[in-house]
């Protein structure tokens, strides 16, 4: 599966992985020619292994709400509680900051973090690390890094192939795959063909079968 995406909704990632596994089982490799950020990283973690090149990057999996990091919201709320407890005179200042959150927002942030981390941990344990001696321990190491806003600092941070390997993810190097001498060229040619089409036309969705029959949807609905 060639995977190139800036990310998206957690629910969409869960649905995509469920569909892929029902259709093709667990023996699927994610090929990341450029980036698979956020929910794209989550999908990649559901695969048997991840193929990355020198220019490939994954990203943090910490949930966002309208560009606001869920972990950052919880950190800010905890800081507010601690500071107002020690310094009651800070209450007016922090009340202005906290008042921007609706009543259930903190709980939604906590549930989103738990949901994304449990999902990725489960996928890693059931596939990539299924044959390891300590699948849960290995999965936790990956999730604790990719899911930590404190560790990764920013949701748009690019995590390169060396960092991905350091976390324990099972990575294959695109440039070193020898099963097919043309494998890298085939992957990059496919990727560039689609990216060129999307950037130089009104196409927003392309579905094509093995016989070359395609359905192309454009942004104007045609």
83 in helix, strand or coil? helix
Give residue 163's pLDDT band: very low, low, confident or very high (50, 70, 90). very high
Is the confidence at residue 5, as pLDDT, over 80?
Answer: yes
Average pLDDT of the chain is 94
Q: Which tens digits make up the pLDDT trace of 16-33? A: 999 999 999 999 999 999
Domain boundaries, the chain: 10-62+114-218, 65-107
Proportion of the chain above pLDDT 90, given as a percent: 88
* β-strands 29-32, 49-52 pairing: parallel
Give residue 56's pLDDT band: very low, low, confident or very high (50, 70, 90). very high
Give residue 182's pLDDT band: very low, low, confident or very high (50, 70, 90). confident
> What mean pLDDT is predicted for residues 41-65?
97
> What mean pLDDT is predicted for residues 56-79?
94
The domain at 10-62+114-218 falls in which architecture?
Alpha-Beta Complex (3.90)
Is the confidence at residue 202, as pLDDT, over 80?
Answer: yes
Exposure letters 147-166 (e unless 16+ CB within 10 A, then b): bbbeebeebeeebebeebee
Proportion of the chain above pLDDT 70, given as a percent: 97
Q: Which tens digits make up the pLDDT trace of 112-126? A: 999 999 999 999 999
Instruction: Name the residue among 154, 122, 150, 152 with its Cα closest to residue 136.
Output: 122
User: What pLDDT, on the 0 to 100 scale, is given for residue 180?
Assistant: 64
User: What pLDDT, on the 0 to 100 scale, is given for residue 66?
Assistant: 87
Task: Write out the DSSP string of 95-129.
Answer: HHHHTTS-TTHHHHHHHHHHHHHHHHHHHIIIIIT
pTM: predicted TM-score of the whole model, two decimal places: 0.92
């Amino acid at each position: 599966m060639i995977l190139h995406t800036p990310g998206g909704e957690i629910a969409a990632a869960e649905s995509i992985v469920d569909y892929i596994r029902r259709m093709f089982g667990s023996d699927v490799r994610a090929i990341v020619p450029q980036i698979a950020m956020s929910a794209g990283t989550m999908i990649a973690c559901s695969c048997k292994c991840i193929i990355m090149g020198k220019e490939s990057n994954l990203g943090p999996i910490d949930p966002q709400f309208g560009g606001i990091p869920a972990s950052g919201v919880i950190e800010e709320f905890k800081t507010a509680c601690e500071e107002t407890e020690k310094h009651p005179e800070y209450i007016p200042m922090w009340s202005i900051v906290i008042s921007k959150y609706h009543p259930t927002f903190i709980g939604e942030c906590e549930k989103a973090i738990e949901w994304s981390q449990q999902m990725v941990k489960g996928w890693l344990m059931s596939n990539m690390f299924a044959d390891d001696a300590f699948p849960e321990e290995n999965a936790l190491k990956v999730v604790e890094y990719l899911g930590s806003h404190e560790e990764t600092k920013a949701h748009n941070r690019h995590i390169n192939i060396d960092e991905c390997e350091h976390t324990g993810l099972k990575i294959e190097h695109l440039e070193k795959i020898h099963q097919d001498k043309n494998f890298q060229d085939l992957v990059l040619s496919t990727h560039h063909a689609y990216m060129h089409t999307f950037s130089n036309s009104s196409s927003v969705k392309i579905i094509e079968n093995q016989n070359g029959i395609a359905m192309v949807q454009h942004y104007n609905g045609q």
